Amino acid sequence: MINDIDLNFLLEDAQNIMGAMHRGADRIQQLVVSLRNFSRLDEAEVKLVNIHEGIDSTILMLQHRLKQTESRPAIEVIKDYGKLPLIACYVSQINQVFMNLFNNAIDALELGCGEYTPLTPDTKDPKPWIRISTELTNLDTVRIRIADNGPGISESARSRLFDPFFTTKPVGSGMGLGLSISYQIVVQKHHGQLRCCSSPGQGAEFAIEIPVHQTMRSSFSGGYAGI
């Protein structure tokens, strides 16, 4: 009887199932932590935060969009994090900006793949990627750049990018609000800058610059967020 039901196989299978359940539970735990980090609904005020945590949470929440699809390979996320101090900001709003920029980059790579255009004619590897780099530009400003190797943006579109309701996406898939909201958050709310650098066929790069200190100058601890 034991031979019939192949006890060894069942034992091995049970171990695999337990392993899968463990991994599933870990992933759920990570997602819950990320969601909490991302929304920070309890933190409506300016707080000192490690900006890398917000970026990592955003990436984790977008995993499902980064996976391989029928029309393109998986999107590689390249992190190039510098050493940053804790930043005083409205964290849930800044995370919203990361989310908008990441979603746009993924949408662009969605378009770019299939008849995907490599960056230069001799590029051998047309894998889609998003690169996120952070640096302290001087003692008072951090720069966060989110770049993709998608189809890029035409000059005429570039001049209207931050206008409310400007979209090139089909009806129903884009409201044209992501960048105008992001602009308000970065420029008006955080006294920073949001710029785009792109030409058709050369991918796109968005650079956010925000001051390290907002209204919290006196309580800034000067601690380092490290990586």
Contact residues for Mg ion, defined by CB under 5 A: 104, 178
Query: By three-state DSSP, how is residue 77 classified?
Result: strand
* CB-nearer residue toward ligand ATP: 134 or 198: 198
CB of 93 to ligand ATP, least distance (A): 15
Check if the beta carbon of residue 189 is closer than 8 Å to that of residue 65. no
Three-point CA angle 148, 205, 77, nearest 5°:
35
* CB-nearer residue toward ligand ATP: 41 or 171: 171
Check if the beta carbon of residue 7 is closer than 8 Å to that of residue 51. no
Check if the beta carbon of residue 80 is closer than 8 Å to that of residue 133. yes
* CB-nearer residue toward ligand ATP: 141 or 184: 184
Chain centroid, CA 93 distance in Å: 14
CB of 145 to ligand ATP, least distance (A): 12
Residues 125 to 164: which contact ligand ATP by CB under 6 A? 148, 150, 153, 157, 161
CA dihedral 36→37→39→42, nearest 10 degrees, is 80
CB of 181 to Mg ion, least distance (A): 9
* CB-nearer residue toward Mg ion: 104 or 134: 104
What CA–CA distance (Å, rounded) separates 30 from 19?
17
Residues 160 to 219: which contact ligand ATP by CB under 6 A? 161, 166-169, 174-180, 204
CA dihedral 40→43→44→45, nearest 10 degrees, is -140
What CA–CA distance (Å, rounded) separates 216 from 227?
23
CB of 5 to ligand ATP, least distance (A): 54
For strands 129-138 and 76-80, give the pairing.
parallel
Contact call for residue 100 and ligand ATP (CB under 6 A): yes
* CB-nearer residue toward Mg ion: 85 or 178: 178
Taking CB under 6 A as the criterion, the residue among 104, 117, 149, 214 binding ligand ATP is 104
Binding site for ligand ATP (CB under 6 A): 100, 104-105, 108, 148, 150, 153, 157, 161, 166-169, 174-180, 204
